[in-house]
Amino acid sequence: MKKIGIMTTGGDCSGLNSVIYHIMCGANKRGWKVYGIFDGTDGLVSDKPNMIQLTKDVLPQEYSFVAGSFLRNGNNGQNNCFEKAVQSGKITQFTKQLKKSLAQTKLDALILIGGNGSISLAWKTRDIYSDMQLICIPKTIDMDIPLTEKTIGFDTAVSQLTRFCDDLMLTARSHHRWFVVQSMGRKCGMLALTAGVAAGASAILIPEIKFDVDKLIEHIKNADTDYGIIMVSEGVSLRGHSGEPATMISRKLTAAGIANRTAFPEHIQRAGNTVPTDRILATQMATVALDAITNNETYVMTALQHDEITTVGLDKVVSAGKPERDPNIDGLMISNAMVDDDNPLLIAADNMGIYIGETK
């Protein structure tokens, strides 16, 4: 009988509980014992690993439909977190402690549900997991993990952000004004682009695509309506300006005589009941993660590729790289961009008459 662990690390998103629940069910069906580690790697730095055996009594099915992580993700502000250890140069000490704690758990395998930061850190410090199998499941609202076409939490975030914009649209109309909505997403514009199209935004600015403020203003002035949504991804930059990109764009619009307000949906994008497509992705990724354990795989991540869930090596995920910004242009030019000029949704947005920047 195998003994496996689950841990959620990095920022939370809706869908984590779905993954945890389905891993628990699938593992129990295989006759394995499942343990949830609380607070991500923080839960492993204490003398005794902070973990609990998961059964349906502890984690009922209803939990699998809601946001947050039953296991919590750790406290970024605390001194004992992985990120702080990296910053303060105490990484060796920290990894030693993690390895020691993990040895106490006597786990055969660990499933780490994390974003690109956690996954690359896990690969860099892979020795910690050398005595067990390590399987990662990609989660993030940012959709910035290479080699997978979907991450857990993205669809729910799109739904949350779209609803936020839908709610604003009527008040925008009532006051003949524009709302500059700033989405999350770090350096990846996929969330802004997808929700922007779904919400019928008039303009969508994302880090990957260069834009021209004058063209944006012209576009808004020539629009059919005098109200609507201008979606700005948080990774967007404007040369010579610092501060929130939505605020910078809003000031430019105001200076051009366009009535507008900013709106920041913030962590609402990580909240909300998990949408069905995220629940289904969670079920599929949990199954593939458990199969990977059966097949003795290690240092792999589950991934959606061409409509199939498979596993890819963590080395490949990490070497695929991260988006990089070019500070010399408005917007960001990105290497390894998640949204490139040929992105079908970007092309569709352009065809719909949405201002998406200067792609040509």
> Site residues (CB under 6 A) for ligand F6P?
11, 76, 115, 140-142, 184-186, 234, 270
Q: Which is nearer to ligand F6P, 34 or 337 (CB)?
A: 337
Query: Shortest gap between Cβ of 330 and ligand F6P (angstroms)?
Result: 20
Q: Which is nearer to ligand F6P, 186 or 279 (CB)?
A: 186
CA of 47: how far to CAs of 80, 101, 104, in Å? 12, 7, 10
Rounded distance between C-alpha atoms, residue 144 and residue 317, angstroms: 11
Angle at 159 between CA 344 and CA 246, to 5 degrees: 80
Q: What is the DSSP string of 2-30?
A: -EEEEEE-SS--TTHHHHHHHHHHHHHHT
Q: Which is nearer to ligand F6P, 14 or 64 (CB)?
A: 14
Query: Shortest gap between Cβ of 25 and ligand F6P (angstroms)?
Result: 27
Strand partners of residue 182: 232
Active site residue 278: no
Joined tokens for residue 273:
């009941």
Go through the chain and tell me how many residues it has: 360
**Per-residue burial over 119-131, b = 16 or more CB atoms within 10 Å of its CB, e = otherwise:** bbbbbebeebbee
Rounded distance between C-alpha atoms, residue 132 and residue 110, angstroms: 7
In eight-state DSSP terms, residue 155 is H
Q: Which is nearer to ligand F6P, 65 or 264 (CB)?
A: 264
Q: Which is nearer to ligand F6P, 40 or 228 (CB)?
A: 40
CA of 87: how far to CAs of 3, 51, 79, 91, 302, in Å? 33, 26, 10, 8, 29
Q: Which is nearer to ligand F6P, 18 or 269 (CB)?
A: 269
Query: Shortest gap between Cβ of 154 and ligand F6P (angstroms)?
Result: 11
CB atoms < 10 A from the CB of 149, how many?
11
> Which residue in the shown chain puts its C-beta closest to ligand F6P?
184
Query: Shortest gap between Cβ of 76 and ligand F6P (angstroms)?
Result: 6
Q: Which is nearer to ligand F6P, 42 or 142 (CB)?
A: 142
Query: Shortest gap between Cβ of 192 and ligand F6P (angstroms)?
Result: 10
Nearest to 27 by CA among 302, 289, 310, 308: 289
Give the three-state DSSP class for 286: helix
Query: Shortest gap between Cβ of 144 and ligand F6P (angstroms)?
Result: 8
- Name the pairing type of β-strands 308-313 and 178-183: unpaired
**Per-residue burial over 102-118, b = 16 or more CB atoms within 10 Å of its CB, e = otherwise:** beebebbbbbbbbbbbb
Query: Shortest gap between Cβ of 166 and ligand F6P (angstroms)?
Result: 21
In the set 12, 39, 42, 142, the catalytic residue is: 142
| Catalytic (active-site) positions | 142
